Amino acid sequence: MPNNGNPATNADNTQPSILTPIVNVNALTPAETEEAVEKAGVAKTQLTGGKAFVSAMFAGAFIGFGALFFLIVTSDPAMTWGPKRFVGGLAFCMGLVLVLCCGAELFTGNSLMASDLAAHKISWPAMLKNWVIVWFGNLAGALVLVTLIALAGTMGLNDGAVGDTAVATAASKITPDWFTLFFRGILCNILVCLAVRIGFSARSVGDKVLGILLPIAGFVAMGFEHCVANMFFLPIGLVSKMFGFGAQAAGADAVSVQGILYNLSAATLGNIVGGAIFVALAYWFVNAKKNA
């Protein structure tokens, strides 16, 4: 019997089999991840200055929440040094989880835009404009969070141990020499940008969260320097010192506005080198398509 053009039945009046679409649950390949990273980089240059700044404020606050989580966890004197660093690193991961899953502009991650520059997809002025806006937006978001945390009295938790830890942590980031901080910044953003690439390669929120845990926890445990995290760690250390915490912390006298700028200059430049050269340009070179 003829079908009479009815697509719902076959010639023998039986219902056609319904093809189930194939869903790829595998992570993106490195080459596919590179395409996703570069596509995102182009989109970042198309944000208006206001949107980029506000989005960057979110990222500064998100990373600050992770840093605060780290301070609270590591203020426990009962934990030994190694487990404390590891658990604190895992706590800090909350910051990048929020950035990648909720969406925000993070300066250290945006160093991956260097691959777009190498691929001639964006210009130097567009990339540098984004970096400047996002850096200051991250700083503004971190400082807003520092203000809220100070007013909330959070540093007095654990009988003031959280405030003491904040001062000690800030001092530990200011007292090393500049080049030591610079190289720690390079190492930090290698791991951060690899974590961001894992986020781009993921097919689900769960993939992103699990994928970034070890690289981020690792850089924190290893004592590397992340300029956006330090936009929170250092001011909250200074505020805690002003409130009378951490008087006995080694190097507490170095915790000052000058000390904050000293650290951020080294960490920022190191983060740029680590992310842009060792990750972005390296992966662009490996995955660049050859001309026919």
117-129: pLDDT as tens digits: 999 999 999 999 9
Lowest mean pLDDT: which of 6-15, 60-69, 100-109, 128-137? 6-15
pLDDT at 5 over 60: no
How far is residue 98's CA from residue 65's CA, in Å, rounded to a whole number? 9
How many residues does the structure list for the chain? Answer: 292
pLDDT value at 292 more than 50: no
Please state which of the four CATH numbers 1.10.3720.10, 3.40.50.1980, 1.20.1080.10, 1.10.10.10 is assigned to the domain occupying 46-152+160-286: 1.20.1080.10
To the nearest 10 degrees (0 to 180), the angle between helices 81-102 and 49-74 is 160
pLDDT in the model for residue 20? 61
Distance CA 233, CA 241 (A): 12
What pLDDT is stored for residue 183 in this prediction?
98
Name residue, tokens 């080049």: 179
Give 161-183 pLDDT, tens digit per residue.
Answer: 999 999 999 999 999 999 999 99
pLDDT, average across residues 180-198: 98
Residue 47 in this model has a pLDDT that exceeds 80? yes
277: left (phi over 0), alpha (psi -120 to 50) or beta: alpha
pLDDT value at residue 6: 54
Closest by CA to 60, choosing from 125, 148, 1, 153, is: 148
**Residue 289: per-residue pLDDT:** 73
**What b-and-e string marks burial along 251-280, b requiring 16 or more CB atoms within 10 Å of the CB?**
bbebbeeebbebbbebbbbbbbbbbbebbb
Lowest mean pLDDT of 9-18, 58-67, 74-83, name the range.
Answer: 9-18
Contact 120, 39 (CB under 8 A): no
- Cα–Cα distance measured from residue 113 to residue 39, given in angstroms and rounded to the nearest whole number: 10
pLDDT of residue 288: 82
User: Is 114 strand, coil or helix?
Assistant: helix
Average pLDDT, the chain: 92
Report the predicted TM-score, pTM, of the whole model to 2 decimal places: 0.90
